[in-house]
Amino acid sequence: MHRSRQQWILRLWTIFFFLMQEVHCSIPSPQNVTIVSINLEHKLTWTPGPGTAAFTRFRVQSYNPKEDMVPGCTMGIKKATTLGPPLVSLTGCGNCLVLKLSPPARMDFYQEYTIRVTRSRDKAQFVMKASNGETLINYLEPGVEYCVRATADTSFQNRAIPSEPQCTYTSSQPLNTVAMFLSILCAIFLLMLLLCTCLIYYGKLGNLHTPFQQALVSFLPLQEQR
């Protein structure tokens, strides 16, 4: 009796073992397996295959390129990362712009950048090089809006994301106080000249000489009578 019970339990475990193997073997492979790498942060994503149970858990294996690959791995994963955009700050300074550049977090090897400067008015553009810190962009029009985009210079340039356009106006030209003073003097002089011309034209100044002319005319006949 005891022996038959042990055999029954053994058979039950055997059936359970084969059922588990059947369930394990029937789980579909994950789909859309993708590695996204931005600024050296790697993110592995996938979607469970059709019919995968909700409680299914997945195991991920990694490998070192210097060592053997994971057995059965045929994806040929490329370990190049995408470089995020640098941090950009832009302020106006007369006929120039002050550009400040810094790399994103954990990307201190950013050193050189390609800068594209675009004039908003007519989309005129030129390209220059810059490095971390402050860079002065000279010989611009004062009081005009310019937009700047920066891209890191790396060995895998096609995987570097440029920054969003940063736009600002160059400052207006500073006032020349000497020229302003001379302009005001010239304006006052021209205004006085115009006023005198108007007075003469309307006879205001000419009327001041009328009494003297009348006295002179009266005096001349008296001398002729004598």
Q: Where does the pLDDT of residue 18 fall: very low under 50, low under 70, confident under 90, or very high at 90 and above?
A: low
Task: Identify which of 150, 144, 143, 142 has the alpha carbon closest to the alpha carbon of residue 166.
Answer: 150
> For 68-94, how does the pLDDT look when each residue is reduced to its tens digit (9 = 90+)?
555 555 444 447 678 888 999 999 988
pLDDT score, position 111:
80
pLDDT score, position 166:
95
> What residue ranges do the domains of the chain occupy?
2-47, 87-169
Task: Identify which of 149, 7, 48, 39 has the alpha carbon closest to the alpha carbon of residue 90.
Answer: 149
User: pTM here?
Assistant: 0.54
Is 11 strand, coil or helix? Answer: helix
When the pLDDT of each residue in the chain is averaged and rounded to a whole number, the result is: 76
Reply yes or no on domain 87-169 having CATH 3.40.640.10. no
Q: Where does the pLDDT of residue 11 fall: very low under 50, low under 70, confident under 90, or very high at 90 and above?
A: low
Indicate if the pLDDT at residue 164 is higher than 80.
yes
Is 89 strand, coil or helix? Answer: strand
> For 166-185, how does the pLDDT look when each residue is reduced to its tens digit (9 = 90+)?
999 998 755 566 667 778 88
pLDDT score, position 140:
93
Beta strands in the chain (DSSP E): 31-38, 41-47, 87-92, 97-102, 112-119, 125-131, 133-137, 145-152, 166-169
Q: What percent of the chain has pLDDT over 70?
A: 64
